[in-house]
Amino acid sequence: MIGRSLDISPASLPAFPPGTVWLCGAGPGDPGHLTLYVVSALRQADVIVHDALVDPRVLDFAHPEAEIIFAGKRGGKPSIAQDEIGEMLITLARQNRRVLRLKGGDPFVFGRGGEEALVLAEAGVPFRVFPGITSGLGGLAMASIPATMRGVNQAVILATGHSADDHTRLDWAALGRLKLPLVLYMAVRTLPDIAAALVAGGMDADTPAAVIENATLPDERIMVSTLDRVAKDLERQAFGPPALVVIGEIVRLREELRLLALQAAREAV
Ligand SMILES: C[S@@+](CC[C@H](N)C(=O)[O-])C[C@H]1O[C@@H](n2cnc3c(N)ncnc32)[C@H](O)[C@@H]1O
């Protein structure tokens, strides 16, 4: 019977050794997207250091005696500095605790997980990384937008709209010339400039575009528009972070899939 052999006890999954840090991804939001590794980590951790994007329901899986530390941005107040987080993880691990560093989505996709892993490695703190479903793929799938589709696209670009410093700034016009679907993280504020540059680079102004706010969560909102209108529509409808912006023909499939699903549901009645 399905589920009979489902054992997510620490005995069937790796034991979380004291004095180590596990850097884990909590997926796009809905706890149903957690991996078994991460649920097991939540059950074993002595202390959990989490970001703002981790849904409170995810933390319900924590051991009742675990200490839970919020290390994200709240109410517009500045977040804890990245180096302070690194120091905190090192200190907690040196207290011989099982430290779960939990981030939204995947820690290695626009999550500064790479930086934290480096800090731990340099300090000689043993750590492991357990991936999560990144919002830019999981959020899309849950919104019925396939990231790739045979005959439509052979590549997809995941990009951040937030350029922390000049030397990593993207050449949006060059990306526009590629005419490949783009999934943009952290692009709410910069979308007007990005959309204009993509069009200037050669991407069709009427390319379909979607915005997914709070992907997979109960208050999820999805808006479909076109490249030349999406920034205005986003502002008009007051979409805000956390949101993903998807630009490309793959967005068209959402409407197609939804229509067919509706039809099938009607016929089934
Ligand atoms: C600092 S990045 C973290 C990305 C994360 N590591 C991941 O793999 O999804 C934060 C951005 O991810 C996107 N994001 C994360 N979770 C989201 C969600 N549930 N709905 C929409 N966008 C989300 C938004 O663009 C948000 O501004």
Residue 88 is a catalytic residue: no
For the chain of 269 residues, list the mean pLDDT of each consecutive stretch of 10.
57 92 98 97 97 96 97 73 94 98 98 96 98 98 97 97 74 96 97 96 98 98 98 97 98 92 88
- Please state which CATH number belongs to domain 136-257: 3.30.950.10
DSSP-derived secondary structure for 194-252: HHHHHHHHT--TT-EEEEEESTTSTT-EEEEEETTTHHHHHHHTT--SSEEEEESGGGH
The pLDDT value given to residue 1 = 44
Map out the domains of the chain as residue ranges. Answer: 21-133, 136-257
Residue 55 is a catalytic residue: no
Residue 103 is a catalytic residue: no
Give the CA distances from residue 24 to residues 53, 140, 182, in Å, rounded to whole numbers and listed in that order: 13, 21, 25
The ligand 1 atom at the shortest distance from the C-alpha of residue 220 is 20
Mutate to test the pocket of ligand 1, among 53, 85, 211 (most ligand atoms within 8 A of CB): 53
Given phi > 0 = left and psi -120 to 50 = alpha, else beta, which region is 216? left
Task: Quote the DSSP letter at residue 78.
Answer: P
Of the candidate CATH numbers 1.10.8.60, 3.90.1150.10, 3.40.1010.10, 3.40.640.10, the domain formed by 21-133 belongs to: 3.40.1010.10
Q: How far apart are CA 192 and CA 117, in angstroms?
A: 34
The pLDDT value given to residue 108 = 98
Give the CA distances from residue 127 to residues 81, 99, 260, in Å, rounded to whole numbers and listed in that order: 21, 9, 46
The ligand 1 atom at the shortest distance from the C-alpha of residue 29 is 19
Q: How far apart are CA 172 and CA 159, in angstroms?
A: 10
